[in-house]
């Protein structure tokens, strides 16, 4: 338990660094760290709410907590939606990747190995897209946010596909996971379409 807490503390500092690095040019350090702390608080509240009331939906309640924290601060501080949500997505993905790697090292299992590998692939994909998206001729707007949204859309689409085959994996909410993840992926790709047209 203590090791898991220490790993999460380390992952949180990595999360802070990733968000700060991506947003430092546009926002003050105070706003960046406020964003990090309030979304991390939202994740924590989502986790404990799930533990008390809906253990099977811990992933979704954590996501909801993150989004509520983000929306609160975005409205209060006037943060730009796409670039901020992109920074948060890759930072939280890195946090989850570190934690899944810890789980695999602690108790080697095929599920934790595949989860770590899949997250690593999405992180690599994000940075590849981030380095090249402005060269895509069909992406006319060239605006920031493309890399994060596409990676997030594919992330949730993969959750839907995997849940249809393995509905009882650790972070899945049974058969409803297929529909929740597919719907989330669809909404995200609609945002990509909208961003491309702006």
Q: Which residues contact 2 (CB under 8 A, 6 or more apart)?
A: none
Q: Which residues contact 41 (CB under 8 A, 6 or more apart)?
A: 65, 69
Can you tell me the distance from the alpha carbon of 59 to that of 7, in angstroms, rounded to the nearest whole number?
A: 18
Domain ranges of the chain: 2-197
pTM value? 0.92
Average pLDDT, the chain: 90
The helix/strand/coil state of 128 is helix
What is the model's pLDDT at position 183? 96
Can you tell me the distance from the alpha carbon of 69 to that of 105, in angstroms, rounded to the nearest whole number?
A: 31
Please check whether residue 95 is in contact with residue 12, taking contact to mean a CB–CB distance below 8 angstroms: yes
Count of Cβ atoms closer than 10 Å to residue 5 Cβ: 9
Residue 178 clears pLDDT 70, i.e. is over it: yes
Query: pLDDT category, 169, cuts 50, 70, 90?
Result: low
């Amino acid at each position: 338990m203590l090791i898991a807490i220490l790993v999460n503390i380390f992952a949180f500092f990595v999360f802070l660094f990733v968000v700060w690095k991506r947003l430092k040019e546009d926002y003050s350090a105070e706003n960046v760290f406020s964003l990090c702390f309030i979304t991390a608080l939202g994740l924590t509240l989502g986790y404990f709410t799930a533990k008390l009331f809906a253990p099977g939906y811990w992933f979704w309640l954590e996501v909801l907590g993150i989004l509520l924290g983000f929306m609160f601060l975005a409205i209060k501080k006037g943060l730009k939606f796409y670039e901020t949500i992109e920074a948060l997505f890759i930072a939280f993905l890195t946090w989850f990747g570190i934690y899944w790697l810890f789980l695999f090292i602690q108790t080697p299992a095929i599920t934790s190995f595949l989860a770590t590998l899949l997250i690593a692939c999405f992180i690599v994909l994000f940075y590849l897209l981030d380095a090249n998206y402005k060269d895509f001729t069909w992406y006319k707007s060239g605006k920031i946010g493309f890399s994060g949204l596409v990676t997030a859309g594919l992330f949730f689409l993969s959750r839907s596909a995997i849940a249809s085959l393995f509905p009882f994996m650790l972070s899945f909410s049974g058969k409803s996971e297929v529909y929740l993840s597919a719907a989330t992926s669809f909404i995200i790709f609609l945002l990509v379409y909208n961003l491309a047209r702006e």
